[in-house]
Structure 1
Amino acid sequence: MALPDRLRVPPKISFLAFFHMWAECRRWEVPDLHIRACVFLQEAWISDSTLLLLMLPRGHAKSTILEVFNAWIYYCWGLTRILHQSESDGTALKTSRGTQNVLRNHPLTTKLLPASVGTIEQWWIAGAALNDARNASMYARGILSNTTSSRADFIQNDDIEVPGNIGTPEAREKLRFRLGEQIHIAVPGAPKLYIGTPHTHDSIYEDVKRQGAMAMVVRMFAQEHRIEKAERGRYPIGFVPEYVFMGIGETARLLREGLDYQLEGTVLLLDNPAGALIDCYAGAAWPERFDAEEMQMRRQQTRTIGEWDSQYQLHAKPVTQVRLDPARIVPYDVMPTVRKANGAAAMFLGPVQIAGAAVRWDPAGGKLRSDVSAVAVVLQDLVGRRYLHRIAALTGDVADFSPDGKTIVGGQVFQLCDLVEELNLPRIVIETNGIGTFAPAVLKAALKQRRLQCGVAEEMAVQNKNRRILEAWEPLLMANGQLWAHVDVLKGPLWDQMRDWKPAVQNQADDLLDAGAGALTDTPERITKIVGNPHITARDDWRTSAGDIEATFER
Structure 2
Amino acid sequence: MEREVDFLTFFLIWARRQRWAVPVLHVRICVWLDNCRAPNRLLMVFRGAAKSTIYAVWKAYGLYRNRASRSLIWAADDPLATKLTRDTLNVLRHHPLCAGMLPRKPGAQQFWVNGATDARNPSMQAVGVNSNATGSRADAIDFDDVEVPKNIKTVEARQNLRLKIDDSAHIAVPGAQSTYIGTPHTHDSIYTELEEGGAAVLKIPLFAHQQRFTDTGERTRYPLRIPLAEDGLYVFLGIGKQARLLVEGRDYRVEAGEVVFERPPAALMDFYSGNAWPERFTREDVENRRKRTRTINGWDSQYQLEAKPIEEVRLDPVNMTPYEMEPVIRRANGATAMFLGSVQIASAAVRWDPASGKLRSDVSAVAVILQDLFGRRYWHRAEQLVGQLAEFDASGKRIIGGQVWQLCDLVERFNLPRVVVETNGIGTFAPAVLKAALKQRRLLCGVSEQQAVANKNTRILEAFEPLLTTRGQLWAHMSVLQGPVWDQMKDWNPAVKEQPDDFIDAGAGALTDTPERVGQIVGNPNITARDDWRHSAGEHEVVFER
TM over 0.5: yes
Letter in 2 for 1:518: G
What is the CA-CA distance between 1:473 and the residue it aligns to? 0.7
Question: Corresponding residue for 1:134?
Answer: 120
What is the CA-CA distance between 1:342 and the residue it aligns to? 4.8
Q: Give 5+ residue unaligned stretches, structure 1.
A: 1-8, 530-555
Q: How does 1:341-360 map to 2 (within 5 A)?
A: 341-342=332-333, 344-360=335-351
What is the CA-CA distance between 1:460 and the residue it aligns to? 2.2
What is the CA-CA distance between 1:68 and the residue it aligns to? 0.8
Question: Corresponding residue for 1:234?
Answer: 221
Compute the TM-score of the two structures, normalised by the length of structure 1: 0.89
Query: Matched residues in 1 for 2:149 and 2:162: separation?
Result: 15
Post-superposition Cα deviations, 1:218-275, rounded to whole Å, max 9, x if no partner, equal 1000111111241121111303562111111112111111111121243111223352
Query: Matched residues in 2 for 1:435 and 1:242: separation?
Result: 60
Q: How does 1:130-529 map to 2 (within 5 A)?
A: 131-231=117-217, 232-239=219-226, 240=228, 242-342=233-333, 344-524=335-515
What is the CA-CA distance between 1:175 and the residue it aligns to? 0.7
Identity between Structure 1 and Structure 2 (%): 58
Query: Matched residues in 2 for 1:184 and 1:403: separation?
Result: 53
Question: Corresponding residue for 2:108?
Answer: 120
Letter in 1 for 2:18: R
CA contact (8 A) 1:384 1:525 kept: no
What is the CA-CA distance between 1:133 and the residue it aligns to? 1.1
Post-superposition Cα deviations, 1:110-132, rounded to whole Å, max 9, x if no partner, equal 1222224x52111112221xx32
| Secondary structure in 1 matching 2:134 | coil
Post-superposition Cα deviations, 1:88-123, rounded to whole Å, max 9, x if no partner, equal 10011010011111112112111222224x521111
CA contact (8 A) 1:86 1:142 kept: yes
Say yes or no: does 1:72 pair with 2:61.
Answer: yes
Q: Give 5+ residue unaligned stretches, structure 2.
A: 518-534, 537-546
Query: Matched residues in 1 for 2:210 and 2:28: separation?
Result: 21
Compute the TM-score of the two structures, normalised by the length of structure 2: 0.90
Distance 1:159 1:266, change over 3 A: farther
Post-superposition Cα deviations, 1:169-206, rounded to whole Å, max 9, x if no partner, equal 11111111111111111112322111101111121111
Letter in 1 for 2:307: A
Query: Matched residues in 2 for 1:11 and 1:416: separation?
Result: 72
Distance 1:190 1:475, change over 3 A: same
What is the CA-CA distance between 1:291 and the residue it aligns to? 0.4
Post-superposition Cα deviations, 1:22-59, rounded to whole Å, max 9, x if no partner, equal 11111111111111111111121xx2x21100100000
| Secondary structure in 1 matching 2:143 | strand
What is the CA-CA distance between 1:382 and the residue it aligns to? 2.0
Question: Corresponding residue for 1:38?
Answer: 30
Query: Matched residues in 2 for 1:89 and 1:106: separation?
Result: 26
Residue correspondences, number: 515
CA contact (8 A) 2:220 2:265 kept: no
| Secondary structure in 1 matching 2:384 | strand
Q: How does 1:45-124 map to 2 (within 5 A)?
A: 47=37, 49-116=38-105, 118-124=106-112
Query: Matched residues in 2 for 1:268 and 1:22: separation?
Result: 44
What is the CA-CA distance between 1:508 and the residue it aligns to? 2.6
What is the CA-CA distance between 1:446 and the residue it aligns to? 2.0
Query: Matched residues in 1 for 2:436 and 2:331: separation?
Result: 29
Distance 1:222 1:11, change over 3 A: farther
Query: Matched residues in 1 for 2:290 and 2:264: separation?
Result: 18
Letter in 1 for 2:90: N
